[in-house]
Amino acid sequence: MLEIPGKACGPCSFCCKVLEIEELTKTAGDLCEHCAQSGGCSVYATRPQVCRDYHCDWKEDRGLSVQFRPDRVGTLLMDDPDSDEYHAVCDPEKPFSWRNPLIFKHLVSLAKEGRVVVAKAGLRSWRIFADGRSQESA
């Protein structure tokens, strides 16, 4: 995929914190031990396949402005690789970041298009519906 000007990771390493990476025994909310202080991955060339397969929606979607950068809004936007769901992944320390009006409007618009939209924070998750309701999963 071609990079979109102005959409480089730069200092953002939010994915290195909020995603669970079983291959590295890294839990959601803990910064990956391989995350470099200046940003980026210290084992990039040998990183696990799950990290290679990850796609940040903010970097790949021209429709998401710079305001949507994950570390700025506290929410990582992504297609779930194991289902047809769209996920808003938040830091477990700030589980309701997906309620940021900018993010929530985006999530509801996707639900209106027929997508299954789920906000996640650690082990907690919420389904977002087209009418703006949300329901926490048991």
Q: Give the rounded percent of residues in the chain with a pLDDT score beyond 90.
A: 70
Mean pLDDT, to the nearest integer, of 56-77? Answer: 93
In whole angstroms, give the CA distance from residue 58 to residue 56.
5
Distance CA 110, CA 24 (A): 32
3 state DSSP class of 98: helix
Helical spans, DSSP H, in the chain:
15-18, 49-53, 57-60, 70-73, 101-112
The percent of residues above 70 in pLDDT, for the chain, comes to: 98
Whether pLDDT at 36 is above 90: no
- Tracing tokens 């071609």 back to the chain, one arrives at 2
Domain map (residue ranges) of the chain:
15-136
DSSP, residue by residue, 85-102 = -EEEEE-TTSTTGGGSHH
